[in-house]
C-alpha cells in the first residue's frame, strides 16, 4: 500500500517529542508499505534531515517554514473566522504537493490538525487524522495562564481552531489520540466521529538505567525550550521551588536540557544552582547523571515523552498532574505527583534525603515502562488500522 504521510515538522531525527512519534509511525508503516513524506522544514537541520530520509528510501518533500514571515502572513486571518494556525502553517507549495501525491496514494495520514487541512478536500482517499491531542484545548489552557492581549488571542484561537477540528474530525475515516484521556475529551467535545488510541512508546534499548552515574543533588529537566509549557514550568520551578530545595540541600542543582532556549530561559542560568545547556547531542547523557527527573509542567495534555524516557532510564520522577496524567501510572509507586510548591519541595527533598527510596521509585518506573510502553507493543494497533482503511482504498470505484 502507498501511504502519504503529512507532518508539521520533518520527522527525523527522533530528538524531540513530535519527531520521536512521527519517525516511529513511519518506521512501522514502512515495514509493510511504501511511505512518502510531505513536511515543513523549520531550519537547516530539518532540510538536512529530509535528505537523510531520502537516503533511507523515503521520498520526502520538505518545504521551508519561515516562522516570522508565517506569523505575519497569518495576521489577515484576524478579520475572518479562520484560526491563525492555518495561516502560520498554510502553504500553496505544500498544498500543491499534497494534491499531486495523494492521486497515487492508497491512504493519507496527517500528524497535527494543521497538516490535516491539506487533505481535507480529498474525500476519495482514505484519511487518518493523528491529533495526539486537540490543539484547541492547548490554547484554552494558555488562556488561563496569560494576560491580555495574548489572553484574547489565545481565546480566539481556541474557538476558531475548535470549529475547524470539528469539521476535520467528521470528514476523515479515523481520528487518533495518544491516551484514553485525550480520546475521552474528544468524544465528549466532538461526538459521533470515529476515534482510537495509539499510545507513544520508548526505545527501551537506548534508554537504560545507570544508577551508578547519578550525581548527588542533580535535578534534570529535558525538553524543547521555546515551547511555552516547558518555559512556563521551568521558570516556575527555578524561581519558586529550587531555592527552597537548596535551603535544605545546598548541593541541589538543576540542569535544563533542550534546544532553542528563549531569553527568559537563558536568564535562568544566572540563578544559583541552575544550568541551561541549549542544544545537546544526547540528552540521555544528562539523565544518566541525574538523581531526580523533574516535570513541573502546569500546562500539558497528551503524553509527555520526557516523563516516559526518564522513567525508562530508572529515574525517580517528580511531576505535576498535567505532566503525568497521560502516562497513567500509579502515583506514589511509579512516580510522585505534586501540583503545589510545597508538595514539589517536600517530594524532591524527600528523595534527595533517602537515596534508596529514590532508587526504588526508579526501579518501579522502569518496570512500569517495560510492561506498558515498548514501541513494538504500543504500535500494534497501527498495523490493524492501516489494514482496515487500506481495504477501503482497494474497493473504491
pLDDT given for residue 397 in this prediction:
46
Torsion over CA of 63, 68, 69 and 75, rounded to 10 degrees?
Answer: 120
Residue 289 pLDDT greater than 60, yes or no: yes
369 class by beta-carbon count within 10 Å (0-12 exposed, 13-18 middle, 19+ buried): buried
In 10 A of CB 102, how many CB atoms?
23
CATH of domain 211-372: 3.40.50.2000
Confidence (pLDDT) at 394: 54
Can you tell me the mean pLDDT for 211-228?
95
Q: Residue 391: what pLDDT? A: 65
Are domains 2-198+379-395 and 211-372 of this chain identical in fold?
yes
**CA-CA distance, 37 to 54, in Å (whole number)?**
10
Q: Domain-by-domain residue ranges, the chain?
A: 2-198+379-395, 211-372
Average model confidence (pLDDT) for the chain?
A: 95
Residues 68-108 have pLDDT tens digits of 888 888 989 998 999 999 999 999 999 999 999 999 999 99
What is the pLDDT, as a whole number, of residue 231?
Answer: 97
| Interval 300-328 mean pLDDT | 93
Domain 2-198+379-395 carries which CATH code? 3.40.50.2000
Tens of pLDDT, residues 151-187: 999 999 999 999 999 999 999 999 999 999 899 999 9
- Report, as an integer, the average pLDDT of 306-312: 96
Question: How far is it, in rounded angstroms, from Cα 78 to Cα 12?
Answer: 33
Residue 297 has pLDDT above 70, yes or no: yes
Measure the CA–CA gap between 221 and 327, rounded to whole angstroms. 17
Amino acid at each position: 500500500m502507498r501511504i502519504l504521510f503529512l507532518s508539521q515538522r520533518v520527522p527525523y531525527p527522533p530528538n524531540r517529542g513530535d519527531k520521536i512519534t512521527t519517525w516511529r509511525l513511519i518506521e512501522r508503516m514502512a515495514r509493510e508499505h511504501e511511505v512518502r513524506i510531505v513536511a515543513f522544514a523549520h531550519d537547516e537541520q530539518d532540510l538536512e534531515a529530509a535528505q537523510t530520509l531520502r537516503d533511507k528510501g523515503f521520498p520526502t518533500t520538505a518545504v521551508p517554514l519561515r516562522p516570522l514571515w508565517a506569523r505575519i502572513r497569518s495576521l489577515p486571518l484576524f478579520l475572518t473566522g479562520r484560526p491563525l494556525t492555518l495561516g502560520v502553517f498554510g502553504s500553496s507549495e505544500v498544498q500543491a504537493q499534497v494534491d499531486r501525491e495523494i492521486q497515487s496514494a492508497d491512504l493519507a495520514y496527517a500528524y497535527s490538525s494543521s497538516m490535516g487541512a491539506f487533505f481535507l478536500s480529498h474525500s476519495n482517499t482514505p484519511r487518518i487524522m493523528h491529533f495526539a491531542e486537540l490543539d484547541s484545548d492547548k490554547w484554552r489552557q494558555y488562556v488561563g495562564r496569560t494576560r491580555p492581549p495574548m489572553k484574547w488571542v489565545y481565546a480566539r484561537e481556541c474557538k476558531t481552531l475548535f470549529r475547524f477540528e470539528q469539521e476535520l474530525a467528521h470528514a476523515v475515516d479515523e481520528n487518533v489520540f495518544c491516551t484514553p484521556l485525550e480520546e475521552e475529551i474528544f468524544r465528549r467535545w466532538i461526538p459521533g466521529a470515529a476515534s482510537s488510541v495509539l499510545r507513544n512508546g520508548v526505545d527501551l534499548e537506548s534508554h537504560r538505567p545507570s544508577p551508578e552515574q547519578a550525581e548527588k543533588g542533580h535535578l534534570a529537566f529535558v525538553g524543547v525550550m521555546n515551547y511555552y509549557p516547558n518555559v512556563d514550568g521551568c521558570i516556575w520551578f527555578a524561581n519558586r521551588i529550587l531555592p527552597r530545595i537548596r535551603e535544605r540541600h545546598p548541593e541541589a542543582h538543576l540542569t535544563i536540557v533542550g534546544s532553542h532556549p528563549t531569553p527568559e530561559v537563558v536568564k535562568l542560568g544566572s540563578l544559583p544552582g541552575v544550568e541551561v545547556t541549549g542544544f545537546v547531542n544526547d540528552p540521555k547523557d544528562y539523565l544518566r547523571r541525574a538523581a531526580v527527573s523533574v516535570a513541573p509542567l502546569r500546562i500539558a495534555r497528551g503524553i509527555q515523552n520526557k516523563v516516559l524516557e526518564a522513567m525508562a532510564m530508572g529515574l525517580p520522577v517528580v511531576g505535576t498532574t498535567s505532566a503525568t496524567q497521560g502516562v497513567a501510572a500509579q502515583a506514589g509507586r511509579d512516580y510522585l505527583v505534586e501540583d503545589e510548591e510545597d508538595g514539589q519541595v517536600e517530594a524532591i527533598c524527600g528523595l534527595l534525603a533517602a537515596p534508596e527510596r529514590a532508587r526504588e521509585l526508579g526501579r518501579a518506573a522502569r518496570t512500569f515502562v517495560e510492561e506498558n510502553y515498548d514501541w513494538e507493543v504500543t504500535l500494534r494497533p497501527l498495523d490493524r488500522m492501516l489494514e482496515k482503511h487500506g481495504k477501503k482504498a482497494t474497493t473504491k470505484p
